[in-house]
């Protein structure tokens, strides 16, 4: 079992990564002295594939549970569904001595974590991530949230999990497109912090679902170290994780929900950030090419359709939280594995980068 310790004083916890680990959930939970009843929150796709092994494991150690299933998809990350879940939990007689297990991708993790942060003013929760995005990114760091009409993730709380149980076997049931899109975040981690990981990603066979636990643990460690430095995103360090996310979010928000996956939008965003890094931050072209080739390897889109207008992208992007009082905090890299937050990127530069995305590659 690979272990990553997330060191946040009294909010510290361990992330365990190993194949088949879900079947040891009961023992792992006992080992951290979570004793009450548990409410399992999952979605309609995940529950069909993975709830049985989880439930068997809880039954083996005698942990009582209730199970709450939301409709798969981003639309479930809402205050209405959070409200509904709180009522369901109360109806099942959960109280401050209960805890929650989030079994699913980033949608379930963010939603269930948010419910855990407000139910009885906060109860403990456990993350069991089931997508690449949630394994390497969203299950660690304690950001929980729901969406409102005005934007994604605008309502939420910092609430760290008590333990993260990461089982790469979960990925076997994921659809190809979801699986590939998740690699945008893996490539992002390597690009900002770990040049050697770029070579390891290059060695993976995208047609198999084999992702070594060691590679997942290294990704989690990158996120964990950044979160430890800047838990509440007040120092600008955590902003490093936004590499590829400025223009990427602008593109994602310009399209109707569901048309493009988050990771696909981030692929465009990474190409744009590499272009600006080459032009204004002395990134060698060979480093940039190496990263682009990895995006290509996972079938991620790189050339932006003219139907997605730059005015729209800029408009969406200007509402982004990453604009601190009008200034863009843009993440650039000066070499593979070395990310920096810069405030020197202008609106003009963003337009150049968007135009660059129209060019064939």
Ligand X SMILES: NC(=O)c1ccc[n+]([C@@H]2O[C@H](COP(=O)([O-])OP(=O)(O)OC[C@H]3O[C@@H](n4cnc5c(N)ncnc54)[C@H](O)[C@@H]3O)[C@@H](O)[C@H]2O)c1
CB of 103 vs ligand X, minimal distance in Å: 9
CB of 233 vs ligand X, minimal distance in Å: 10
**Smaller CB separation from ligand X, 143 or 290:** 143
CB of 299 vs ligand X, minimal distance in Å: 16
Q: Look up tokens 């993350």; give the residue.
A: 127
**Smaller CB separation from ligand X, 158 or 280:** 158
- According to DSSP, the β-strands at 327-328 and 323-324 are antiparallel
Residues interacting with ligand X, by CB under 6 A? Answer: 43, 45-46, 49, 72-74, 77, 104-108, 110, 130-131, 133-134, 137-138, 141, 143, 152-153, 170, 173-174, 178, 262
Q: Which residue is nearest to ligand X (CB)?
A: 106
Say if CB 82 and CB 100 are below 8 A apart: no
Total residue length of the chain: 361
Label residue 161 exposed, middle or buried (CB < 10 Å: 0-12, 13-18, 19+). buried
CB of 356 vs ligand X, minimal distance in Å: 25
**Smaller CB separation from ligand X, 18 or 283:** 18
**Smaller CB separation from ligand X, 24 or 288:** 24
- 112: closest CA among 58, 161, 151, 48? 161
CB of 62 vs ligand X, minimal distance in Å: 27
CB of 89 vs ligand X, minimal distance in Å: 20
What's the CA gap between 12 and 4, in Å, rounded? 11
- 63: closest CA among 16, 29, 13? 29
Three-state secondary-structure class, residue 293: helix
Q: Count Cβ atoms below 10 Å from residue 48 Cβ, excluding itself.
A: 13
Query: DSSP readout, 251-285?
Result: HHHHS-TTSS-HHHHHHHHHHHHHHHHHHHS---H
Three-state secondary-structure class, residue 170: helix
């Amino acid at each position: 079992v690979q272990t990553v310790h997330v060191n946040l004083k009294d909010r510290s916890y361990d992330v365990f990564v190993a194949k088949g680990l879900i079947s040891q959930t009961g023992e792992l939970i006992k080992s951290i002295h979570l004793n009450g009843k548990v409410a399992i929150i999952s979605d309609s796709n995940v529950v069909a594939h993975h709830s049985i092994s989880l439930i068997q494991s809880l039954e083996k150690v005698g942990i009582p549970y209730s199970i709450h299933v939301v409709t798969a998809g981003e639309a479930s990350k809402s205050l209405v569904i959070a409200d509904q879940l709180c009522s369901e939990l109360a109806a099942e007689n959960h109280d401050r001595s209960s805890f929650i297990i989030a079994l699913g991708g980033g949608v379930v993790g963010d939603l269930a974590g948010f419910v855990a942060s407000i139910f009885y003013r906060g109860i403990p929760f456990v993350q069991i991530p089931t997508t690449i995005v949630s394994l390497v990114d969203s299950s660690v760091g304690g950001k929980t949230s729901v969406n409102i009409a005005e934007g994604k993730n605008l309502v939420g709380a910092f609430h760290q999990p008590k333990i993260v149980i990461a089982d790469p076997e979960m990925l076997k049931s994921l659809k190809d497109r979801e699986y590939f899109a998740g690699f945008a975040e893996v490539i992002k981690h390597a690009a900002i912090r770990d040049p050697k990981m770029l070579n390891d990603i290059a060695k993976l066979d995208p047609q198999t679902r084999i992702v070594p636990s060691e590679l997942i643990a290294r990704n989690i460690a990158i996120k964990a170290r950044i979160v430890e430095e800047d838990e509440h995103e007040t120092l600008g360090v955590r902003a490093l994780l936004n590499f590829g996310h400025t223009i990427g979010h602008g593109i994602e928000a310009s399209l109707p929900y569901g048309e493009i996956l988050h990771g696909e939008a981030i692929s465009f965003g990474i190409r744009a950030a590499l272009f600006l890094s080459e032009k204004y931050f002395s990134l060698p072209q060979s480093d940039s090419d190496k990263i682009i080739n990895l995006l290509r390897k996972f079938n991620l889109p790189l050339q932006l359709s003219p139907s997605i207008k730059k005015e729209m992208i800029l408009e969406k992007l200007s509402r982004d939280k990453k604009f601190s009082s009008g200034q863009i905090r843009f993440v650039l890299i000066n070499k593979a594995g070395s990310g920096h937050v810069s405030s020197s990127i202008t609106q003009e530069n963003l337009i150049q980068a968007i135009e660059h995305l129209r060019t064939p590659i």
